[in-house]
């Protein structure tokens, strides 16, 4: 969840807790999403059904937010 929060901040959907400012860092957000997907792949078979569902939903939500952020930044 910590990585998910960091991705939401990097997408500009939440303020940075350190500065209170909202800013977009799309390359950073993309890297976090990729890392979460890698963690999902590497932990396959070692998660509960609830953990799997939560991780899948988190990754999906972040991917949708990322696509929307990229579209709006053009």
- Dump pLDDT digits (tens) for 26-70: 999 999 999 999 999 999 999 999 999 999 999 999 999 999 999
Residue 74's H or E segment, with its range, is none
* Structure token digits, residue 48: 């509960």
Contact assessment for residue 8 and residue 65, using Cβ atoms and an 8 Å cutoff: yes
**Contact between 62 and 33 (Cβ < 8 Å):** yes
Structure tokens at 13: 């959907």
Closest CA to 8 of 73, 53, 66: 66
Q: Is the pTM of this model over 0.75?
A: yes
């Amino acid at each position: 969840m910590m990585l998910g929060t960091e991705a939401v901040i990097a997408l500009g959907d939440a303020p940075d807790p350190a500065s209170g400012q909202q800013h977009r860092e799309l390359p950073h957000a993309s890297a976090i999403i990729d890392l979460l997907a890698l963690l999902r792949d590497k932990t396959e078979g070692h998660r509960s059904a609830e953990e799997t569902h939560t991780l899948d939903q988190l990754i999906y939500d972040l991917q949708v937010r990322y696509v929307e952020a990229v579209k709006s930044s053009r």
